[in-house]
Amino acid sequence: MCGIIGITSNKSVSAAIINSLRKLEYRGYDSAGIATLSNNEIFELKAEGRVDNLEKNLSISNMKGNVGIGHVRWATHGIPNNINAHPHSSDTVSVVHNGIIENSTILKKFLVSKGHNFKSQTDTEVIVHLLTEYLKTDELIVAITKTLKQLHGSFALGIIFKKQPDLLVGARRGSPLAVGYGPNENYLGSDSYALKSMTNKITYLDDGEFCLLKKDQVEFFNAYGKKINKKVLELSSNEAIYDKGDFKHFMAKEIEEQPITLKNGIREYVDNINNDINIYNFPWQISEISSIMLIGCGTAYHACLMAKYWFENLTSLDITVDIASEFRYRKNKFKPSTLYVFVSQSGETADTYAALDLCNKNNAKTCAIVNVIESSIARDSNFVLPIHCGPEIGVASTKAFLGQMLILYMMGLKLGFMNKDINKIDYVNKIKDLKKLPELISQTLLTDDKIQTVTATFNKAKGSMFLGRGFSYPIALEGALKLKELSYIHAEGYPAGEMKHGPLALIENGMPVVVLAPRDDYYKKTISNMQEVIARGAKVLLITNKSKDEVFSENIWETIEVETSNNDLLPFLLTIPLQKLAYYSALKKGYDIDKPRNLAKSVTVE
Ligand code: F6R
């Protein structure tokens, strides 16, 4: 959350900073700002709302300076307005910050007692004044180390100094930060995505480290101010995949890309000659693992929950699932025979990272399923299974969800086979079925018209429900999450069997209820639950799979049929109409689909 960019160059930097801020907007879009340094003066411009608003300010084109920092904000301390927007500056330094300073109130008291005046409601401003205070007496490196030592919480920082003409400083604890190398210029960015248009040579800062960048020099330091060496990584770069193409929104593009991304995922892991799944270099013997714990947040958590159903069917291992923000504060009993699996599109989610860190500190076996392979979660796990679905820009996760489910399903299949829980024939048949999945997704993507017509009812409703049993239950949760985050309609996902235990009281005449009832082992039970909500006035949108058998139920409002596959794979197909329902519903309401209110793509604060 929040995006940071910094550039030190032999030419003016403001246009390049604005350009990079646009790429970073998916991380936060409450407000934006930029500060540059020229002739020992710091120039600062900020605007509430999008980068567009910042760029409308005419003085931006006249902003001089060969060194500068920029920021897009996702508010934590203080409302999103001009004053609270970053950068925050004193007459000595200017700072952009991603993260939360937990002891800012105490630090502020101390600084006010020293005569410092605060302008904003942000926690960030204490960093500005601490640095200003220490720089009165200390030389630069000492002032930086002293400041960082005082801060509790998480941060990625970009800093420029009035008296240091071409210097840009970066620091990291908890929130990601990367350094990029260019010709006669160097960069700082809160992720490689922002830097990719300028360079593919990158170094990631680790927790506690800071760096000093000049246009032709990069130096790294540890938390004690001692110089260290760091590796330069080369990133693959393909700018075209960051483009919306002919689509109106990234989300629409990402939904339609799903057959291709699944094909890529299958190609990466399935050995076509031997009909086998390669989970490359799996570092343990299967006999060393007796249980698996799956951990994630939001949509990634739903993928974990889905995996629990698959893993329990495919393996004899004990499977548990947890939300990362709960797991990290639980009194966990770490066992050497448990494999902890962390699922995250960005690989930077603060809670998921903290859960991983806790496991690492307890010497647990850890595995990351991530989309961004250079991410913190990937780097700090024992073992990584990349999703291979390309950058996901829309804030609401779509193709990454299917990608996460794909990897988890293949992992469950492979572990089940390695553990002799499923036989060779079943294993090979399931792999053969899996290879047909991208085509089935393509076919299911064609069911568009009906979804567009039902959205009007959802958009008028006070609230809605999504019901499913067994394999369909995690998908019901995901469908409800997509609808609420994009179209701001109250939506609850429930196990269909739970309705009688309370939620049935919410059903009233005309309430739209999505029932996921594919023809699997739970079908008849779910249909009974569906009849109970219809009897109480619900307008049921039934989502099932194609079959020669009719659905025996009266008064179903609308039915959508997805393609048919083996039962394991139906969750992938059921997800498609739910993604589209959320998309079209938000489209009709005219909402900002790729950047829903109050949200951000990469949740790097707790
Ligand atoms: C919802 C959504 C979020 C993310 C969650 C975890 O559409 O995208 O719920 O799934 O913030 O993010 P990652 O997967 O990056 O850890």
Q: Which amino acid is at 411?
A: M
Average pLDDT over residues 559-582: 97
pLDDT at 569: 98
Residues 315-323: what's their mean pLDDT?
98
CA distance 405 to 385: 12
Residue spans of alpha helices (H) in 151-257:
192-195, 250-256
Task: Of 207-216, 287-296, 425-434, 596-605, give the lowest mean pLDDT range.
Answer: 596-605
Please state whether the peptide bond connecting residue 503 to the residue before it is cis, i.e. omega within 30 degrees of 0: no
Q: What is the pTM assigned to this prediction?
A: 0.80
Q: What percent of the chain has pLDDT over 90?
A: 80
* Residue 237 pLDDT class (50, 70, 90 cuts): low
User: Across residues 380-393, what is the average pLDDT?
Assistant: 91
Q: Name the residue of 249, 254, 299 whose CB sits within 8 Å of the most ligand 1 atoms, as the mutation to test its pocket.
A: 299
pLDDT at residue 518 in the model: 97
Choosing from 23, 414, 482, 601, the catalytic residue is 601
- Report the atom number in ligand 1 closest to the C-alpha of 370: 14
Expressed in angstroms and rounded, the spacing between residue 300 Cα and the centre of ligand 1 is 6
Residue 241's pLDDT is 61
What is the average per-residue pLDDT within 2-12? Answer: 94
- Closest ligand 1 atom to residue 396 Cα is 7
The verdict on the CB of residue 397 being under 6 Å from ligand 1 is yes
Q: pLDDT tens digits for 485-535?
A: 999 999 999 999 999 999 999 999 999 999 999 999 999 999 999 999 999
Which tokens belong to 212?
Answer: 């000093």
Q: Is there an atom of ligand 1 within 6 Å of 345 CB?
A: yes
Q: Is 601 a catalytic residue?
A: yes
Mean per-residue pLDDT for 199-213?
92
Q: 208 C-alpha vs ligand 1 centroid, how far in Å?
A: 26
Q: How high is the pLDDT of residue 91?
A: 92
Take residue 132 and report the two structure tokens written for it. Answer: 């200003």
| Closest CA to ligand 1's atom 8 | 397
Atom 7 of ligand 1: nearest residue by CA position: 396
Closest to 89 in 3D by CA, of 60, 122, 57, 56: 122
Q: pLDDT above 70 covers what percent of the chain?
A: 99
**What is the pLDDT confidence band of residue 572, given thresholds at 50, 70 and 90?**
very high
Does ligand 1 have an atom closer than 6 angstroms to the CB of 346?
Answer: yes
pLDDT at 115: 95
> For the residues 239-265, what does the mean pLDDT come to?
87
More confident residue, 124 or 282: 124
Atom of ligand 1 nearest to the CA of 352: 16
Kindly report the protein residue whose alpha carbon is nearest to atom 5 of ligand 1: 298
301 pLDDT exceeds 60?
Answer: yes
**128-178, pLDDT tens digit by residue?**
999 999 999 999 999 999 999 999 988 999 999 999 999 999 999 978 899
Residue 375: CB within 6 Å of ligand 1? no
pLDDT number for residue 214? 97
Ligand 1 pocket member 299 (CB < 6 A): yes
Mutate which of 301, 349, 402 for ligand 1 pocket (most atoms within 8 A of beta carbon):
349
Give me the torsion for CA of 246, 252, 254, 256, rounded to 10°.
-80
For residue 565 and ligand 1, the question of a CB distance below 6 A is answered with no
Rounded to whole angstroms, the Cα distance separating 453 from 459 reads: 11
Q: Which of 2, 297, 304, 359 is catalytic?
A: 2
The domains located in the chain, with CATH, are 3-234 (3.60.20.10), 250-444 (3.40.50.10490), 448-589 (3.40.50.10490)
pLDDT of 240: 47
Ligand 1, pocket-test mutation among 345, 348, 401, 595, most atoms within 8 A of CB: 345
Ligand 1 mutation target, pool 193, 294, 297, 579, most atoms within 8 A of CB: 297
Q: Are 581 and 606 within 8 A, CB to CB? A: no
Whether pLDDT at 239 is above 60 = no
Q: Would you say the CB of residue 190 lies under 6 angstroms from ligand 1? A: no
- What pLDDT does 77 receive? 83
Residue 325 CB less than 6 A away from ligand 1: no
- Decide: 472 in ligand 1 pocket, CB within 6 A: no
Decide whether any atom of ligand 1 lies within 6 Å of the 300 Cβ. Answer: yes
Phi, psi dihedral angles at 300 (to 5 degrees): -65, -35
Provide CB contacts within 8 A for 466, sequence distance 6+.
Answer: 476, 477, 479, 480, 483, 491, 492, 493, 494, 513, 514, 516, 578
**Cβ proximity of 414 and 277 under 8 Å:** yes
Tell me if 464 CB under 6 Å of ligand 1.
no
Residue whose CA is closest, atom 6 of ligand 1? Answer: 297
Nearest to 181 by CA among 9, 3, 379, 66: 9
Q: Which range has the worst mean pLDDT, 189-198, 220-229, 275-284, 490-499?
A: 189-198
**pLDDT of the residue at 196:** 81
- 254-288 pLDDT, tens digit per residue, is 999 999 999 989 988 998 888 899 887 788 999 99
Cα gap 313→307, rounded to integer Å = 10
Residue 269 has phi, psi (to 5 degrees) of -110, -20
CB of residue 398 inside a 6 A radius of ligand 1: no
pLDDT at 184 over 80: yes
Question: Which is higher by pLDDT, 368 or 374?
Answer: 368
Query: Quick check: is 304 catalytic?
Result: no
Which among 535, 565, 337, 322 is positioned nearest to 433, based on CA atoms? Answer: 565
* Ligand 1 closest atom vs CA 302: 10
pLDDT of 236 reads 63
The residue whose CB lies within 8 Å of the most ligand 1 atoms, and thus the one to mutate among 346, 385, 594, is: 346
603 lines ligand 1 (CB under 6 A): yes
Could you tell me which of 161, 139, 255, 220 has the C-alpha nearest to residue 576? 255
Mean pLDDT of 595-601: 85
CB neighbourhood size of 481 (10 A)? 23
CA distance readout (Å), 65 to 11, 68, 178, 338: 8, 7, 22, 54
Q: How many Cβ atoms are within 10 Å of 234's Cβ, its own excluded?
A: 9
Q: Is the CB of 567 under 6 A from ligand 1?
A: no
Do 31 and 46 contact (CB within 8 A), yes or no?
Answer: yes
